[in-house]
């Protein structure tokens, strides 16, 4: 029976070089020496008989052959990691740690209730919580860094259940110029005013969402900062209703009288990274999230 000449470790090194941008960065990410990284790639290229990498400025990029081969190797790496996670889960019963990525859209109170239920059921299991914006939680899934994720879009290759949604409302303070005309506003009325938006925390394919027509747009890294800027009268924005309900009730923020697009909704999906290799603690956390976020949803057993 023939044995493959290349190893999964070599392919993982190649992937790290591409994703990190060079040999030095890959060595740091994989906790290896730079010479070990260079040797692994040189050996891989020699075994295959093709060049896989070429320099492009200060970065290393794949050749066409390298791109095609690494694309085929990635599912093998994912399978190997799933096997190892599955083995650890079987050996230990309850996982020592569960990793959860949460989009900033998630409501805090029901999330805390879900985590409290999880802690009561799995007191010996550590939790890693990754707080992300837009595509950040999706990136964490694609990099294999989390077991569960709450995302606004389900990335290719995964399945997700819509378990709750949020309504975004265009708002500004009562004294903001946009509230002074007393007439319905159009996009042209917004263009000259400062809009605040939240920066995507993802790196693979960062994206923007919503209306971005203002020439005076401010970009921040956290939803709380966006709310603070709007509350200070410095900008307008579309903000999640659940995050601003107190300010709306108190009249400190007012919905903008837009003729169109004053509100929109975004669903939040629960994604299990590895349905076959998920351990009991991750399943318990998934069930708690389904129960406490939005309307109760029957457990699927995952």
pLDDT of residue 299: 39
For 9-37, what is each residue's pLDDT tens digit?
A: 999 999 999 888 888 888 998 899 999 99
* Assigned CATH topology for domain 8-89: Arc Repressor Mutant, subunit A (1.10.10)
Q: What's the average model confidence in pLDDT over 78-88?
A: 78
Q: Rounded to two decimals, what is the model's pTM?
A: 0.66
Measured in degrees and rounded to the nearest 5, phi and psi for residue 65 equal -65, -40
CA dist 267 and 160 (Å) reads 11
> Residue 248 and residue 208: Cα distance in Å, rounded?
25
What's the CA angle centered on 123, arms 147 and 84, to 5 degrees? 35
Lowest-pLDDT range of 33-42, 131-140, 164-173: 131-140
Mean pLDDT of 224-250: 94
**298 pLDDT above the threshold of 80:** no
- Write down the CATH number for the domain with range 94-302: 3.40.190.290
C-alpha–C-alpha distance, residues 273 and 145, integer Å: 9
pLDDT at 211 exceeding the cut of 70: no
Q: Is the pLDDT of residue 93 over 90?
A: no
CA dist 295 to 101, 163, 240, 290, Å? Answer: 21, 7, 18, 8
pLDDT band at 205 (very low <50, low <70, confident <90, very high): low
Mean pLDDT, range 41-70, rounded to an integer: 89
CB 150 within 8 A of CB 121: no
What percentage of the chain has pLDDT greater than the value 90? 49
Determine the pLDDT at residue 89.
Answer: 60
Per-residue pLDDT, 255: 96
Q: Which residue has the tokens 């794949």?
A: 62
Residue 254 has pLDDT above 50, yes or no: yes
pLDDT of residue 277 exceeding 60: yes
The domain locations on the chain are 8-89, 94-302
Mean pLDDT of 269-278: 88
Among 297, 268, 232, residue whose Cα is nearest residue 107: 268
Instruction: Flag whether pLDDT at 297 surpasses 50.
Output: no
Residue 52 has pLDDT above 80, yes or no: yes
pLDDT in tens, 164-204: 998 999 999 999 999 988 889 998 989 889 999 888 776 66
When pLDDT is averaged across residues 224-253 and rounded to a whole number, the result is: 94
Q: What is the mean pLDDT of residues 210-236?
A: 87
Mean pLDDT taken over the chain: 87
> Please, which pLDDT band fits residue 90 given cuts at 50, 70 and 90?
low
Look at residue 206 in the predicted model and tell me its pLDDT.
Answer: 63
pLDDT score of 65 more than 60: yes
Average pLDDT over residues 86-99: 75
Which of residues 244 and 104 earns the better pLDDT score? 244
């Amino acid at each position: 029976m023939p044995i493959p000449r290349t190893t999964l470790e070599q392919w993982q090194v190649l992937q790290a070089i591409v994703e990190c941008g060079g040999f030095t960065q890959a060595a740091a990410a994989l906790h290896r020496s730079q010479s070990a990284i260079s040797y692994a790639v040189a050996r891989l290229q020699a075994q295959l008989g093709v060049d896989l990498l070429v320099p492009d400025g200060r970065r290393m990029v794949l050749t066409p052959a390298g791109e095609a081969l690494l694309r085929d190797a990635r599912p093998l790496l994912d399978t190997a990691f799933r096997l190892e996670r599955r083995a650890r889960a079987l050996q230990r019963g309850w996982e020592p740690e569960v990793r959860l990525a949460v989009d900033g859209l998630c409501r805090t109170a029901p999330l805390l209730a879900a985590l409290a239920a999880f802690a009561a059921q799995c007191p010996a299991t550590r939790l890693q919580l990754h707080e992300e914006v837009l595509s950040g939680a999706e990136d964490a899934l694609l990099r294999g860094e989390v077991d569960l994720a709450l995302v606004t879009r389900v990335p290719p290759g995964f399945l997700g259940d819509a378990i709750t949604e949020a309504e975004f409302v265009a708002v500004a303070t009562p004294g903001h110029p946009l509230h002074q005309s007393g007439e319905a506003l159009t996009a042209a009325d917004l263009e000259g005013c400062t809009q605040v938006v939240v920066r995507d925390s993802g790196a693979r394919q960062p994206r923007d969402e919503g209306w971005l027509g203002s020439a005076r747009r401010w970009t921040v890294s956290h939803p709380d900062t966006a709310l603070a800027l709007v509350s200070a009268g410095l900008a307008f924005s579309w903000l999640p209703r659940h995050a601003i309900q107190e300010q709306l009730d108190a009249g400190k923020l007012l919905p903008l009288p837009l003729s169109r697009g004053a509100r929109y909704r975004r669903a939040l999906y629960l994604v299990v990274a590895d349905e076959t290799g998920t351990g009991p603690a991750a399943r318990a956390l998934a069930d708690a999230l389904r129960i406490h976020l939005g309307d109760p949803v029957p457990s699927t057993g995952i």
